[in-house]
Amino acid sequence: MNRTLTTANTTYFSLFPSPIGDLLLVSDGEALTGLHMAGGEAAGPDGLRDDRPFRDVRAQLTEYLAGERRTFDFPLRPVGTLFQRRVWDELCRIPFGETISYAELARRVGQAGAARAVGSANGRNPIGLIIPCHRVIAADGGLGGYGGGLDRKRWLLGHEAEAAGRVI
């Protein structure tokens, strides 16, 4: 990442074309602060359109979408409450190609019985796909919800299952 682009209070953004539609990437110049899917709830940011702060992000997303990468290793800076950040940290521990239920996620963050609260935190994830909220499903095996739309969630789960050599 080109650190010389960093200035106080500057937001950078880039559009990344993908098989699930354009992804809006947002950065503060040092870390990824947002990844939103076209048609999602997030609006485009005020800021500077520039692909340079996203060089690593774009390369790793390309590898992920080609089935060649299972984890990401660039700086993230999601903004949220302490509880939301605990949920998002736990999402990052769900292995590639696997899913857990909202109830299991609640148990893992020490809030057994708070599946709705973790579902809400999951839905407020500002860095979708990278913080893999798509890996959380309903207890009955249904998809549950997804801010990017259920077709995208289905595609992501299928993509990961196929890349991991699993059938869903």
Can you give the residue range of the structural domain that contains 24?
A: 3-65
pTM of the complete model:
0.88
- Please tell me whether residues 103 and 144 are part of one structural domain: yes
- Please tell me whether residues 149 and 98 are part of one structural domain: yes
Residue 146 belongs to a domain: yes
Annotated catalytic, 133? yes
Total domains in the chain come to 2
- Please tell me whether residues 60 and 91 are part of one structural domain: no
- Please tell me whether residues 33 and 101 are part of one structural domain: no
Per-residue buried b or exposed e for 99-120, using 16+ beta carbons within 10 Å of the residue's own CB: bbbbbbbbbbbebeebbebbbe
41-45, 87-91, 144-148: which is most confident: 87-91
- Please tell me whether residues 50 and 109 are part of one structural domain: no
- Residue 44 pLDDT level (bands cut at 50, 70, 90): low
- Please tell me whether residues 147 and 90 are part of one structural domain: yes
SS (H, E, C) the chain: CCHHHCCCCCCEEEEECCCCCCEEEEECCCCEEEEEECCCCCCCCCCEECCHHHHHHHHHHHHHHCCCCCCCCCCECCCCCHHHHHHHHHHCCCCCCCCEEHHHHHHHCCCCCCHHHHHHHHHCCCEECCECHHHEECCCCCCCCCCCCHHHHHHHHHHHHHHCCCCC
- Please tell me whether residues 89 and 60 are part of one structural domain: no
pLDDT of residue 160: 97
- Please tell me whether residues 61 and 89 are part of one structural domain: no
Residue 72 belongs to a domain: no
pLDDT at 20 over 80: yes
- Please tell me whether residues 87 and 30 are part of one structural domain: no
Domain CATH number, residue 43:
3.30.160.70
pLDDT of residue 3: 32
Q: What's the pLDDT tens digit per position in 53-89?
A: 899 999 999 999 999 999 999 999 999 999 999 999 9
pLDDT of residue 41: 46
Residue 77 belongs to a domain: no
Residue 71 belongs to a domain: no
Given 23, 133, 156, 157, the catalytic residue: 133
